[in-house]
């Protein structure tokens, strides 16, 4: 299987393996890229949160690593409930969290994929 490559991001888009996605995306363990479903996300200070529903779906895939690209300036919010659930789940399932501004997580994501790690992620492209 050809490994995907996270190349770059700019406000509102992310380029992965020479394809630009004009929206937020999920990375699935089979290296599939899927448009982010924000239908369960509430607005917090004008921004759509990373919802508990989304986190639960990502953890269904039994990852070793969870990458959260928090946007160009790092604004992607989590509710206290989601943050608590995530902290507990990371510890319970021994999953490593990588969370930083989206431009800063791309190289690490590529490195983990190259090493054959089981990686899931969400990559926010604005804010």
Contact 124, 103 (CB under 8 A): no
Parse the chain into domains and list their residue ranges: 32-124
Domain 32-124 falls in which CATH fold? Hypothetical Protein Mth938; Chain: A, (3.40.1230)
If 0-12 CB within 10 Å is exposed, 13-18 middle and 19+ buried, where does residue 72 land?
A: middle
Q: How far apart are CA 43 and CA 126, in angstroms?
A: 14
Measure the CA–CA gap between 118 and 64, rounded to whole angstroms. 5
Is pTM beyond 0.75? Reply is yes
Residue whose tokens read 């380029």? 15
pLDDT digits (tens, 9 = 90+) for 85-127: 999 999 999 999 999 999 999 999 999 999 999 999 999 999 8
116: which DSSP letter?
T
């Amino acid at each position: 299987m050809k490994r995907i490559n996270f190349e770059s991001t700019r406000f509102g888009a992310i380029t992965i393996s020479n394809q630009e996605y004009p929206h937020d995306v999920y990375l699935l363990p089979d290296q599939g890229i899927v448009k982010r479903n924000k239908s369960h996300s509430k607005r917090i200070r004008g921004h759509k949160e990373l919802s508990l529903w989304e986190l639960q779906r990502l953890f269904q895939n039994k990852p070793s690593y969870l990458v959260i690209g928090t946007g160009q300036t790092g604004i992607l919010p989590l509710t206290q409930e989601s943050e608590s659930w995530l902290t507990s789940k990371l510890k319970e399932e021994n999953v490593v969290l990588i969370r930083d501004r989206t431009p800063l997580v791309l190289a690490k994501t590529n490195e983990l994929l190259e090493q054959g790690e089981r990686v899931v992620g969400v990559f926010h492209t604005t804010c």
